[in-house]
Amino acid sequence: MSAITPSLVLASSSAYRQLLLNKLGLSFHSQSPDIDERPQPLESGPALVQRLAEQKAYALRAQFPHSLIIGADQVCVNNGHIVGKPGTLEKAKAQLLAASGQHLTFYTGLAVYDVTNNNMRSMIEPFSVVFRTLCSATIDRYLAIEPALDCAGAFKCEGLGISLFERMEGRDPNALIGLPLIALVDLLSEFGVQVP
């Protein structure tokens, strides 16, 4: 008798993460977990994203009892301060002005939870961006074309946002978009999921 093959669930409603996971050619279901994503007092960016990635994966265990659940969360840190999604053009411009000439680090927490065996594996994937010196007019032109209000840091590296960078540093540029695929393949292999 063969073992039940667990289904794969992405604990996210993010279209960006869904598109990234599609690159691996795996069949999966996507559902948003209902968790409190606020940072705890004095919680660092890396600790926050690891905790949230694990909580997102764990939150869907009752709905998907025979599944491998992938949780992910990302935070941008500029000079020790967590930078969230801007939400408005005014905040987006302020974020990009603050990023001008700076070295920003994005931390992505990634978790894979095997519900059947109550086994969680998680890690943190850093990826850094060094911004060019940006003037107000450059930022205005960028935001007029690609507002990126739903992206931490107010840019899309997979789009025109790449023009704002001097360089990028890290092992997987997918981490910058919100799902580090190299690390995910490593974690999935620990649970017997082979890609390709």
> What are 83-112's pLDDT values in tens digits?
988 999 999 999 999 999 999 999 999 999
* Residue tagged 């690891």 (tokens): 50
Q: Give the tens place of pLDDT for each residue, 120-136.
A: 999 999 999 999 999 99
Q: Tell me which residue of 68, 66, 32, 67 sits closest to 52, measured CA to CA.
A: 32
* Residue tagged 């967590």 (tokens): 82
Which residues fall within 8 angstroms of residue 92, CB to CB, at 6 or more apart? Answer: 86, 143, 147, 148, 149, 154
pLDDT computed for residue 168 by the predictor? 95
What's the mean pLDDT in 148-164?
92
What domains can you pick out in the chain, each with its CATH number?
7-190 (3.90.950.10)
Check whether 6 has a pLDDT greater than 70. no
What's the mean pLDDT in 134-145?
97
Catalytic (active site) residue 73: yes
Query: Are the beta carbons of 40 and 58 closer than 8 angstroms?
Result: no
Range list of H helices, 28-173 = 45-59, 89-99, 136-145
Sign for the CA dihedral angle at 68, 9, 35, 170 comes to positive
pLDDT computed for residue 84 by the predictor? 86
Rg (CA), the chain: 17
Check whether 116 has a pLDDT greater than 50. yes
Residue 15, phi then psi, degrees to nearest 5: -65, -35
Check whether 1 has a pLDDT greater than 50. no
Mean pLDDT lowest among 3-12, 14-23, 78-87, 95-104: 3-12
Cα separation of 167 and 181, whole Å?
20
pLDDT computed for residue 49 by the predictor? 95
CA 98 to chain centre: 21
Catalytic residue (choose from 73, 150, 172, 186): 73
Which residues fall within 8 angstroms of residue 1, CB to CB, at 6 or more apart? Answer: none
Q: Give the tens place of pLDDT for each residue, 37-93.
A: 898 999 999 999 999 999 999 999 999 999 999 999 999 999 989 998 899 999 999
Which residues fall within 8 angstroms of residue 5, CB to CB, at 6 or more apart? Answer: none
Check whether 3 has a pLDDT greater than 70. no
pLDDT computed for residue 2 by the predictor? 36
Omega into 46 within 30° of 0, i.e. cis? Answer: no
